[in-house]
């Protein structure tokens, strides 16, 4: 059983730490590992704009670098409840598989979807 609100709260905390001086668009992500630990990520922007990394990929790369390899769910928080970008969908599909994705705004209005609904016929 996934506690969506707990995962959203972690993503909200992560969103507060976003480093986004160029867009001012803060994104927080939280990833639930199979042993029920939560790994967070936030967007980290670069002066060389395309070098920026999205919150979802920071969460996944951070988790992988810490030895987590299996994931149960991800939450993503933005001010307007936006969906993950295409590059993040690819990385989520590759490294987390078809998991529930909880997409929330900062008021915790959320919808739940899945990796493969966001990225049908993935290249994995
Ligand atoms: N961003 C994310 O963190 N995740 C997404 O899925 C889409 C976009 C970030 C990148 C950039 O720092 C800011 O949002 C504006 O595009």
Instruction: Write out the chain's pLDDT in tens, 124 residues.
Output: 899 999 999 999 999 999 999 999 999 999 999 999 999 999 999 999 999 999 999 999 999 999 999 999 999 999 999 999 999 999 999 999 999 999 999 999 999 999 999 999 999 9
Amino acid 1: pLDDT: 85
Amino acid 42: pLDDT: 99
Among 19, 53, 55, which is best to mutate for testing ligand 1, by the most ligand atoms less than 8 A from CB?
55
Ligand 1 pocket (Cβ < 6 Å) reads 20, 23, 25, 27, 43, 45, 52, 54-56, 84-85, 88
Sign of CA dihedral 69, 72, 75, 76: positive
117 CB-contact burial (10 Å; exposed 0-12 / middle 13-18 / buried 19+): exposed
CA 75 to CA 10: how far, in whole Å? 8
Distance of CA 28 to the CA centre of its chain: 7
In degrees rounded to 5, what are phi and psi of residue 62? -65, -45
Atom of ligand 1 nearest to the CA of 84: 6
- Is 45 marked active-site? no
Check: pTM over 0.85? Answer yes or no.
Answer: yes
């Amino acid at each position: 059983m996934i506690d969506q609100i707990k995962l959203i709260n972690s993503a909200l905390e992560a969103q507060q730490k976003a480093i986004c001086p160029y867009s001012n668009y803060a994104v927080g992500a939280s990833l639930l590992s199979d042993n029920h630990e939560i790994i967070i990520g936030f967007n980290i922007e670069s002066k060389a704009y395309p070098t920026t990394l999205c919150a979802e990929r920071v969460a996944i790369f951070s988790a992988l670098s810490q030895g987590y390899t299996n994931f149960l769910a991800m939450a993503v928080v933005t001010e307007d409840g936006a969906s993950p970008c295409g590059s993040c969908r690819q990385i989520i599909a590759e490294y987390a598989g078809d998991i529930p994705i909880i997409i929330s705004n900062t008021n915790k209005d959320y919808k739940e979807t899945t990796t493969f609904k966001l990225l049908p016929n993935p290249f994995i």
